[in-house]
Amino acid sequence: MIRSLPCSSLYKNSYRLYIILFYVFLIMPLVTICVLAFNDSDFIALPWNGFSLDWFFANNNDRLGLFKDTDLLLSIWISLKTGFFVALFSTVIGTIAALLFEEEDFKLKGLLYFLALAPLVIPGVVLGISILLSSTFAGTYIENTFGVDVEFLRPSFWLVVIGQFSFGATYVMLLVSARLKKFDRSLEEAGQSLRATRLEVIRLITIPFLRPAIIGAFVVAFLISFSNFNTTIFLVGSDPTLPVDLYSRIKFSSTPVLNAVSFLIVAFISLSAMISFAVNFRKKQ
């Protein structure tokens, strides 16, 4: 049953088989996507017609490869930009929230903490429509009252950033809080007794201690933003993010170029995961 207990080989083998099947189930769609990105075919299907890089580089009547498809490249660029700003804002506010909830005491702390966790239990679609409704309302109100058109209150790049930030900050807060719980408070007290102000203590002692968690949280927030669809779809303006662009292509005009983009994402994620694993592995030894 567990490492130290003996059990029948039938049990052992069928358990092992289940685990293998599980991993096959896990990896199957990813492998399929990647393989078909290199198929010399106009359709996203077998049979295998031979190896081709057309869906990356071709530019002719039949095939428009990823690196020649300016719309697709633009949506990748928009997603990268969105991800960067979402990660930046989420990291700043999420870290501040972690410091606030871990280190300060105040009235209504429980209620505020509950609100900060709320994005975990609000469906992404609901978050999207709520922000769309209230920002549109605020935008119309400002336009009617002051005659000013506030662009970021209409579906647009910045509204997407705002929408994704609203839950990104929660994830950063949780990641940073987890690290802050392991922090030795006496270091802060020592700093304070040496006459550092509260702000200096945070800047010189707490933040450096939190740095690995903050960097990790930045990456997590970026990835959450990069792959988000459910909230983004309601807030997106004329410039779609990559998931929104992929979605409309899947629904209306799918060509193997979708596989080419997906291949890049799969390759990038897998490679980064392997690198971070190797680095951690070496650190441990």
Partner 1 sequence: MKKRSGTFYLLMVPVLLWLIMLIVIPHLDLFFKSFRFENDDGMMVFSLNNYLAFFEDKIYWLTFVKTALYSIGVTILAFVVTFPVAFYLTKIIAKKYSSFMVLLLLIPIWIGELVTIYGWMILLGDRGVINNFLIGLGVIDTPIVMLYNNFSMTIGLLYMSMLFMIIPMMSALESLDDSLIEAASDLGASKWTIFRQIIIPYTTPGIASGGIIVFMLVIGDYVAPNILGGKSALWFTEQIYNEFLATFNWNEGAAFGFLLLMLSSAIIWLALKLTGQKLDKVGS
Under rule CB under 8 A, which residues in 84-103 are in contact with partner 1? 92-93, 96-97, 99-100
Stretch that binds partner 1, among 60-68, 146-154, 206-214, 265-273 (CB under 8 A): 265-273
Q: Is 251 in the site for partner 1 (CB under 8 A)?
A: yes
Applying the rule CB under 8 A, the residues between 111 and 140 that interact with partner 1 are: 112-127, 129-135, 137
Smallest gap from residue 124 Cβ to partner 1 (A):
5
- Residue 207 burial (CB count, 10 A): 13
The crossing angle, in degrees rounded to 10, of helices 157-180 and 207-227 is: 140
- Residue 199 burial (CB count, 10 A): 8
Residue from 13, 17, 24, 27 binding partner 1 (CB under 8 A): 27
Which CB sits closer to partner 1, 106 or 146? Answer: 106
Smallest gap from residue 115 Cβ to partner 1 (A):
5
- Assess contact for 283 and 212: CB atoms under 8 A: no
Which CB sits closer to partner 1, 64 or 226? Answer: 226
Which CB sits closer to partner 1, 2 or 148? Answer: 2
Using the CB atoms, write b or e for 245-266: b if 16+ within 10 Å.
bbeebeeeeebbbbbbbbbbbb
Applying the rule CB under 8 A, the residues between 136 and 195 that interact with partner 1 are: 137, 162, 165-166, 169-170, 174, 177-178
Looking at residue 275, its amino acid is I
Cis amide prior to 123 (ω within 30 degrees): no
Smallest gap from residue 128 Cβ to partner 1 (A):
9
Which CB sits closer to partner 1, 59 or 276? Answer: 276
Applying the rule CB under 8 A, the residues between 190 and 229 that interact with partner 1 are: 197-199, 202, 223, 226-227, 229
Applying the rule CB under 8 A, the residues between 226 and 245 that interact with partner 1 are: 226-227, 229-230, 233-234, 243
Which CB sits closer to partner 1, 74 or 265? Answer: 265
- CA separation, residue 139 to residues 50, 127, 166, 195 (Å): 54, 18, 18, 47
Measured at the CA of 117, the angle between CA 221 and CA 93, to 5 degrees, comes to 50
> Which residues lie across from 40 on neighbouring strands?
none
Stretch that binds partner 1, among 16-24, 59-67, 145-153, 183-191 (CB under 8 A): 16-24
Smallest gap from residue 125 Cβ to partner 1 (A):
5
> Which residues lie across from 64 on neighbouring strands?
59
**3-class DSSP assignment, residue 207:** helix
Measured at the CA of 230, the angle between CA 255 and CA 82, to 5 degrees, comes to 80
